[in-house]
Amino acid sequence: MAVEFKLPKIAEGVESGDVLEILVSVGDTLELEQEVVELETDKATVFVPSDVEGVITAINCEIGDTIAVGQAILSVEPAAAAAPAPVESAPVAPAPPVPEKPAEVVQEPVAPVAPVEPVAPVPSVAPVVSKPESTPVETASGKKVMVAAGPAIRRFAREVGVDLQTIQGSGEHGRIVREDVLKVVREGSRQGGSSAKPSAGTQSDGYGPIHVEKMPKIRQTIAKKMHESWTTCPRVTNFDDADVTALEEIRQNSKQEYAAGGIKLTSMPFLVKAVAMALKAHPVINASIDLEQGQIIYKDYVNVGIAIDTERGLVVPSLREADKLGIPDVARQLGQMADDVRSGDFSIDDLRGGTFTISNLGAIGGTYSTPIINTPETAILLVGRSRKLPVVVGDEVKIRLMMPLSLSYDHRLIDGGAAARFLNEVIGYLEAPSRLLLAL
């Protein structure tokens, strides 16, 4: 009798997800812990492993469907039910009785019957199914062809509208890599977009052609969070600059040594460490509020969220216990976090537990902005691109490298004076980087 594999609880607070890929087909032999579907939930994509085994008899969802926790994904005939019955040896019929004969009739001797060896039952062995390097993609004719591409590449191709079947991969064994997809996008741009698939839902709004796409789950989540923050959190933003001339000199003198260890040393690890140390000295910035209970919740730990720009939207993983890390550890973990987020190799738990957020606008360009607070946190710091400016130092005007900083904070909890003192503390660390190197 077939059983249903239902979407399990993925993480706290996650109730549903959008199906990005279905990784199995009807008739496949499913193993325990084999990945079944790829789901987009909140800001993370996850692969859902099976907790049943057997032969798949039905797939109860399609790509693009939103499925809820507890909803059936597959119907599976358990392995035990599908196993053939063991072959047993047939019983040997006893020899028929020999009737009594007259004395004059001589009976031929009957040869003894050799005993029949019992036949051992044939065990049911399910074939070993290895996860394919290629993923079947259905063509317009309904025929499935194999496309050699990883989940992150397939997701990227969907987002930029590229048909993977049209690409010859340049990776190992013909595997499609990111540069192959980008090449098609660039060629499509030069040729008016002929190399990319037209977006689904092309139509007109009465003034000209438009195309309509389903809003990705991540963008829906961002929209809800931004609306929540804007409507519940009265925000004020302080703007200031930090003189990072000395810090930049230290960075330049150290970056080759870090690079030899596989670490790219930017100014971001110094900023993260400065913020983490300042949060310890100004606990009200590292707190949240519960108006229903009339409470202020002070966090005795410092987890700094780092806003990372990806093709799918802004993702904010949390750097745990940043105040306890040295500059090399911060730099190493920041690089790993960025790689994991951009490749989609992270979990929902990686996005939780932050107490303060840093957004690096300077990596793209720009100086000041008014960042939206990542509630329930109560403050966020945006850093712009450092630039050389004339600055009065003593009685002289000197050219100094200045880092623009924008601190937004929840005015329900944080007063302007508290915000200014915190920002001054951060600036103090950045302008005297030796304090960061010695900080514990």
Catalytic residue among 173, 227, 282, 411, which?
A: 411
* Rounded Cα distance, 13 and 122, in Å: 48
Encoded tokens for 43:
């800001």
Concatenated DSSP letters for 389-412?
EEEEETTEEEEEEEEEEEEEEETT
**Count of C-beta atoms within a 10 Å radius of residue 119:** 11
**Residue 15 main-chain phi, psi, to 5 deg:** -110, -15
**Residue 361 main-chain phi, psi, to 5 deg:** -70, -25
**Count of C-beta atoms within a 10 Å radius of residue 332:** 18
Give how far the C-alpha of residue 383 lies from the chain's centroid of Cα atoms, to the nearest Å. Answer: 25
**Sheet (strand 72-78) strand order:** 3-6, 72-78, 54-59, 29-30
Question: Angle 225-280-273 (CA atoms, 0-180°, nearest 5)?
Answer: 80
3-state DSSP: the chain helix, strand, coil percent, rounded to 5?
30, 30, 40
Element (DSSP H or E) covering residue 225: helix 217-232
* Rounded Cα distance, 236 and 418, in Å: 12
Residue 282 annotated among the catalytic residues of the structure: no
The three-class DSSP label of residue 306 is strand
Catalogue the active-site residues. Answer: 411
